[in-house]
């Protein structure tokens, strides 16, 4: 059973703002019967057409989909359109005290409906919405190339969700968007998109510190070996063990595939270069057979 927070349960059992607004200024509709959840969001604006004075929803879906919709309507009321556009799916999840990760796509659906409604109201690209609820795409107003055919999800949408939520695995992407949760055929493509989005953010170049006490130096050597060196060796079925540190002399022993490997001398040099780059210039790595 899902571990829903009391707030999720409350918004599911006592949903706020259910219904339609016949003279709504903005309407956003996402999802379909086939997909298993769908949300139609109605917004009413004040006379200046800026502030949201009323919001209502109709939702087909699980408890967290209903709770996310209810939360969304509560959150947008009283906000102007720009403020509303700034609401992220994480904000919706936070409002509810959190959602199970597998249910994050419900918060994404809420955010998406809001974005569609406002974009349409502002007259942005809003293709005629197909009312084919049989097997229509989950986000029919989303531009881009369809990546997940099962749920009709595009690359542009996926990239946005990956970036906003800092997603790093295809599994997370499935939890947040459903993409990849059907036949699974698009998982390699999702991996590419993750690399594209997350790889694009330049990592802070790491520099070795100016000055190090002996204690700090030993700690840093250990840290670099754990985080930067050993994972590389694991990839080839090898491993190493730190035997001793004496000033700048670092003694290591190679294990598993690396032990007795003809190229372990090269491996020791690789370790030395890493440590010189990230800890201190004068590091010397020695291989011992302990």
Partner 1 sequence: MKEIYLDNNATTKVDEAVFEEMRPYFCELYGNPSSMHFFGGQVQGKVTEARERVAALLGASPEEIVFTACGTESDNAAIRSALEVFPERRHVITSRVEHPAVLTQCRNLSQKGYRVTEIGVDGAGRLDMEELKAAVDDDTAIVSLMWANNETGVIFPVEEAAAIAKAKGALFHSDAVQAIGKIPVNMADSQIDMLSLSGHKLHAPKGIGVLYLRRGTPFRPFLVGGHQEKSRRAGTENAAAIIALGKACELAGQYMDVENSTVKAMRDRLQDALMAAIPFSRINGGGAERLPNTTSIAFEFVEGESILMHFSELGICASSGSACTSGSLEPSHVLRAMGVPFTCAHGSIRFSLSRFTTDAEIDTVIREMPPIITHLRQMSPFGREHLKGQA
Catalytic residues: 35, 106
Query: Considering the complex, what minimum distance in angstroms separates the CB of residue 34 from partner 1?
Result: 4
Instruction: Select from 28-36, 46-54, 206-214, 274-282 the region that touches partner 1 (CB under 8 A).
Output: 28-36
Give the up-direction half-sphere exposure of residue 140: CA atoms within 13 A in the CB hemisphere. Answer: 23
CB 34 within 8 A of CB 136: yes
Strand (E) or helix (H) holding 242: strand 238-246
Separation of alpha carbons 38 and 33, rounded Å: 7
Instruction: Select from 56-64, 139-147, 210-218, 233-241 the region that touches partner 1 (CB under 8 A).
Output: 56-64
Closest to 72 (Cα-Cα) out of 105, 96, 98: 96
Nearer to partner 1, 160 or 178 (CB): 178
CA distances from 132 to 22, 35, 52, 110, 165 (A): 22, 12, 29, 20, 30
Nearer to partner 1, 149 or 255 (CB): 149
Query: Considering the complex, what minimum distance in angstroms separates the CB of residue 190 from partner 1?
Result: 14
The tokens describing 217, both together, are: 């130096």
CB 39 within 8 A of CB 31: yes
The three-state DSSP-derived secondary structure of 63-96 is: HHHHHHHHHHHHHHCCCEHHHHHCCCHHHHHHHC
- Provide CB contacts within 8 A for 51, sequence distance 6+: 45, 78, 79, 80
Check binding of 63 to partner 1 (CB under 8 A). Answer: yes
Check binding of 38 to partner 1 (CB under 8 A). Answer: yes
Among 24, 52, 109, 150, binds partner 1 (CB under 8 A): 150
Binders of partner 1 among residues 191 to 210 (CB under 8 A) are none
- The sign of the CA dihedral 9, 55, 41, 72 is negative
Query: Considering the complex, what minimum distance in angstroms separates the CB of residue 2 from partner 1?
Result: 8
Among 10, 83, 91, 102, binds partner 1 (CB under 8 A): 102
Check binding of 133 to partner 1 (CB under 8 A). Answer: yes
CA distances from 234 to 74, 111, 134, 261, 270 (A): 50, 41, 48, 14, 14
- The sign of the CA dihedral 17, 19, 24, 27 is positive
Among 10, 16, 21, 60, binds partner 1 (CB under 8 A): 60
Interaction mask 65-84, partner 1, x per CB under 8 A: xx------------------
Query: Considering the complex, what minimum distance in angstroms separates the CB of residue 174 from partner 1?
Result: 7
Separation of alpha carbons 238 and 261, rounded Å: 9
Among 178, 252, 279, 285, binds partner 1 (CB under 8 A): 178
Check binding of 39 to partner 1 (CB under 8 A). Answer: yes
Binders of partner 1 among residues 242 to 281 (CB under 8 A) are none
Query: Considering the complex, what minimum distance in angstroms separates the CB of residue 152 from partner 1?
Result: 13
Binding residues (CB under 8 A) for partner 1: these are 1, 9, 12-13, 15, 18, 29, 33-34, 36-40, 58-63, 65-66, 102, 133-135, 150-151, 174, 178, 181-182
């Amino acid at each position: 059973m899902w571990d829903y927070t009391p707030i999720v349960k409350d918004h599911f059992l006592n949903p706020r703002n259910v219904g339609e607004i016949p003279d709504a200024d903005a309407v956003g509709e996402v999802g379909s019967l086939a997909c298993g959840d769908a949300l139609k969001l109605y917004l009413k604006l004040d006379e200046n057409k800026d502030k949201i004075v009323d919001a209502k929803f109709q939702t087909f879906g699980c408890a967290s989909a209903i709770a996310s919709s209810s939360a969304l309507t509560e959150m947008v009321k009283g906000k102007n359109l720009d403020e509303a556009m700034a609401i992220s799916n994480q904000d919706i999840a936070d409002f509810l005290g959190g959602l199970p990760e597998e249910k994050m796509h419900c918060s994404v659906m809420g955010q998406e409906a809001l974005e569609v409604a406002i974009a349409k109201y502002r007259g942005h690209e809003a293709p005629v919405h197909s009312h084919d609820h049989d097997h229509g795409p989950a986000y029919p107003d989303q531009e881009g190339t369809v990546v997940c055919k099962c749920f009709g999800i595009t690359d542009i949408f996926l990239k946005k969700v990956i970036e906003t939520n800092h997603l790093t695995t295809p599994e997370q992407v499935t939890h947040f968007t459903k993409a990849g949760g059907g036949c699974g055929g698009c998982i390699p493509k999702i991996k590419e998109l993750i690399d594209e989005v997350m790889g694009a953010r330049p990592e802070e170049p790491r520099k070795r510190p100016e000055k190090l006490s002996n204690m700090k130096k030993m700690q840093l050597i250990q840290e670099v070996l754990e985080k930067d060196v050993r994972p590389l060796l694991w990839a080839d079925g090898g491993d190493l063990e730190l035997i001793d540190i004496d000033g700048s002399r670092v003694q290591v022993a190679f294990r598993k595939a690396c032990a007795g490997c003809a190229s372990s001398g090269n491996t020791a040099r690789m370790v030395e270069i890493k440590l010189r780059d990230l800890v201190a210039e004068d590091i010397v790595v020695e291989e011992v057979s302990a």
